[in-house]
Structure 1
Amino acid sequence: MEMNKSKGITLTKGLVLLMSITCGLAVANLYYNQPLLADMGRTFHANSHQVGNISMFTQIGYAVGMFLFVPLGDMRERRHLITVLLASVTIALIGVATAQNLLWIYAASLAVGITTVVPQVIIPLAAQMSEPAERGKVIGSVMGGLLFGILLARTVAGVIGGSFGWRMMYWVAAVLMLALAIILNRFLPKSHPEANLTYRQVLKSLGELILTQPTLREASLVGAMLFGSFSVFWTSLAFYLEGAPFYFGSQVTGLFGLVGVVGAAAAPFVGRIADRFSPKSMVGMFIILTLLSFMFFGLFGSAVWGIVFGVILLDLGVQGAQVSNQARIYSLVPEARSRLNTVYMVTYFLGGSLGSSLGSFAWNLWQWQGVCLTGGIMIVLGFIVWGVHQLKNKS
């Protein structure tokens, strides 16, 4: 049990668990489509690039939603904000479930992304409520729930979509979001804003943070490139696995999300290490780990074991860098944690949307080896950004 003395809020293990579960269930909305893209393509008679845009619009929406709503966490009571967002995403998910054409599902997916920003309101709240010495551990625990949601979303979507059709997955998700809105409104404590600013001042301060915080700029760009490579892989995987030599359906494709649980399980451990060692050095190590994953995909991707081992490395690398980067940025300006998180995560998901588009584009033109090369290039760019920042700090 930890106590944030300045705010008088007790952060219990049960509350951390509730926030972790909420982050996992909410963020899953962004990823249900990935193992179902081939099925959606058949419904709308669309090619892989057209249907790949569903993932792109979802992630663009997430970036827009974070820009519009997450900064409110520094100036509004968060419990009410979270409840309103969960009710809104319920409606957006119903929109996806009832989509009749590509334009409709593009718009509904954009709306899902815009309203699925609850995890990025909760994570700064967890950081605010925790003691500084425990912050990495708490963030790692909440992030662990979020990462489980990201990875298991594909497995659940594959099973439900493969058994009952892809639309059923979105009906189930809508019910889950409505239930969460009711539960959190009952059990989440009220929070107190950490900044006395108008909405216009909050948005203006985002630019000031970008200009004055070089670590924020570096962490954001590195995160964008790593998550972009992550999206390159997962957007293309369904198309790769449904053809030779595998011929897998959406159910089997979704099971590959279970493999990445290894990376998610390591998030709390990474958070504890970040409390004791240099998070910036750990970021470099995780970038290299992510690059190794794409080498495995390129060299051994024609075998199931090669993809499995690569997925473990990919998820561990991307999620480890994510936890380390967030531990770094939350210590920069404590009273602006929601805004720091906004800059970081908007950039992060813009990188993800770019990766989704590039992944389906590379698959259309060059198939699997083009996908591996595209993901690898994004990681190398991230490593260059990280390396230049380290050199500047030393000079």
Structure 2
Amino acid sequence: MEAPPRPVLTTPVLLLMAVATGLCVGGNYFNQPLLESIATALGTSHSAAAATVTVAQVAYAAGLIFLVPLGDVFPQRRLAVTLMLAAAAGQAISGFAPGIGVLMLGTAIAGLFSVAAQVLVPFAATLATPERRGAAVGTVMSGLLVGILLARSVAGMLAEVGGWSTVYRIGAVLTAVVALALWRVLPATTPTARQGYGATLRSLGTLVFEYPRLRTRALMGGLSFASISAMFSTMAFLLSGPEHGLRELQIGLVGLAGVVGAVAASVVGRLVDRGLAWLTTGGGIAALVVSWAALGAGSVSLVWFVVGMVVIDLAVSMVHITNQNIVYALDPEARSRINSVYMTTYFVGAASGSALGAAAWTFGGWAAVCTLGVGLALLTAAVWAVDTRVAAKAVRTESEPAVTTPR
């Protein structure tokens, strides 16, 4: 019996999937430029408001571990749409939260189920024809990255109009509408997993132990993201303070400086394809360290703060994209599970950086945050040194002739 034709992923459907990923993941960043307003409106402390950033990232990391592997067990269209609707519900709870406790709950729900984005990315690869697979995945990932960048700016703009909760209410409606649209346009698919959910989860640990470079590259990703998260979780306090006196809208616009990192993503990927992964990693880590000098000067100069934000976004993008290229090549047949391991570590690093950043701000203000950021960048460099040795050892092992023992 002839196999049914592969579903063709049209451009409108692909763009809708890109919008969906941006809405899902971007929702986890709505609160970052609004922390001052949230603390004031809900009558809570700066540290409690900043904790919502940590909650969103921890919840997202949990979803990466426990929900994303379900893409191999359940039909991907049904799973993605269900997760998106649940994320929309979390955003709605946040948008009508009367206090910090309910906001925490809504943030946790939205963060946990926003991993629908990480279901849609491999789904795009499944639906695309082989010659368009790379372009399809790149488009959906671009939507995710742009969603993160725009989330902060849009949140600041809408807060100027209707208060901090406006962006959550609008985000909930848009996420639900796009989810229902995806249900109508995406084809139904049959799961292809040959092992149960429990076995799939257990195999994640096997991959961690089997591939040393998965461990080093995941740790590098987590540390670099922790460094930038320390900045994002506290920048609203600095920029709204007496030195700069910016409003939510202005803080959101400052966040658009990170678009440089998004533009550079494709360039970094091409450099890695040319065998320059060592250079892109080293350049990214060097830029990460240097960026904190500019951010430190940003305590009294908005220009230097913007320069530092551009450099740090570019730096983390260079490290992250290089990491992805390396870990995906470790085992092509286990890319989804490898992605789960890597991205979980990545966002645990983000949550840790946010929590440490809030604590550093409480302890010593922006100077303490900058000290923390530099320290995390130097730890990233230390792990890179270990990864370089691991890679060199692997090359030597592959180049050594096999030794056979006479029978």
Quick check: TM above 0.5? Answer: yes
1:223 maps to 221
Question: What amino acid sits opposite 1:273 in the alignment?
Answer: L
Q: Provide the C-alpha distance between the structure 1 equivalents of 2:100 and 2:270, rounded to a whole number of angstroms.
A: 44
Match of 1:241 in 2: 239
**Residue 393 of structure 1 aligns with which residue?**
391
In structure 2, the CA distance between the partners of 1:95 and 1:122, relative to structure 1 (3 Å rule), is: same
What one-letter code is carried by the residue in structure 2 that aligns with 1:152? L
How far did 1:27 drift?
0.9
Q: Distance in 2 between matches of 1:188 and 1:240?
A: 44
**Aligned twin of 2:379:** 381
- Listed one character per residue, the Cα deviations across residues 258-306 of structure 1 (whole Å, up to 9, x for unaligned) are 1111111222333333333343542232122222211211134421110
1:303 pairs with 2:309: no
| Partner AA of 2:149 in structure 1 | L
CA spacing shift, 1:208–1:133, aligned 2, 3 Å = farther
How large is the Cα RMSD of the aligned pairs? 2.2
Aligned residue number for residue 24 of structure 2: 26
| 1:76 maps onto 2:74 in alignment | yes
Q: 1:349 aligns with which of 347, 350, 354?
A: 347
The whole-number CA distance in structure 2 between the counterparts of 1:220 and 1:132 is 28
Q: 1:192 to 1:325 in 2, by over 3 A?
A: farther
Supply the distance in 2 between the matched residues of 1:223 and 1:136 (Cα, whole angstroms): 22
Distance 1:385 1:135, change over 3 A: farther
Supply the distance in 1 between the matched residues of 2:338 and 2:189 (Cα, whole angstroms): 18
User: How many Å separate the matches in 2 of 1:225 and 1:314?
Assistant: 13
| SS at structure 1 position matched to 2:149 | helix
Give unmatched runs, 5+ long, in structure 2: 394-407
Cα distance 1:280–1:124, how it changes in 2: closer, same or farther (>3 A)? farther
Greater shift in the superposed pair: 61-70 or 134-143:
134-143
For 2:315 and 2:335, locate their aligned partners in 1 and report how far apart those are by CA, in whole Å: 24
User: Of the two structures, which has the highest relative contact order with CA contacts closer than 8 Å and spacing of 6 or more?
Assistant: 1
Which runs of no fewer than 5 residues in structure 1 stay unpaired? none
SS at match of 2:154: helix
Q: Compute the displacement of 1:191 (Å).
A: 4.2
How far the C-alpha of 1:320 sits from its partner, in A, is: 2.6
Q: Which among 131, 156, 159 is matched to residue 157 of structure 2?
A: 159
For these two proteins, the number of residue pairs brought into alignment is 391
Give the TM-score of the pair, scaled to structure 2.
0.90
Q: Give distance in 2, aligned partners of 1:382 and 1:184.
A: 39
Match of 2:358 among 349, 357, 360: 360
Deviates most, 292-301 or 85-94: 292-301
How far apart, in 1, do the equivalents of 2:212 and 2:57 lie?
Answer: 25
* Aligned CA distance change for structure 1 residues 331 and 137 (closer, same or farther; 3 Å): farther
Task: Give the structure 1 partner of residue 94 of structure 2.
Answer: 96
Give the structure with higher Rg (CA): 2
| Match for residue 117 of structure 1 among 95, 115, 119 | 115
Return the alpha-carbon distance in structure 1 between the equivalents of residues 189 and 216 of structure 2.
Answer: 30
Could you tell me which residue of structure 1 aligns to residue 316 of structure 2?
Answer: 318
The percent identity for this pair of structures is 36
Q: Which moved more, 1:280-289 or 1:380-389?
A: 280-289
**Measured at CA, do residues 291 and 68 of structure 1 come closer, stay the same or move farther in structure 2, by a change above 3 Å?**
same
Q: Superposed, which structure 2 residues align to 1:137-286 within 5 Å?
A: 138-286=136-284
1:34 Cα deviation from its structure 2 partner: 0.4
Q: Distance in 2 between matches of 1:319 and 1:191?
A: 33
Q: Name 1:41's counterpart in structure 2.
A: 39
Residue 358 of structure 1: how far off its partner (Å) = 0.9
Native 8 Å contact 1:124 1:337 kept in 2: no
Q: CA deviation at 1:142?
A: 2.8
TM-score, normalised relative to structure 1? 0.92
Residue 372 of structure 1: aligned partner: 370
Shift of residue 367 of structure 1?
0.8
Shift of 1:81: 0.6
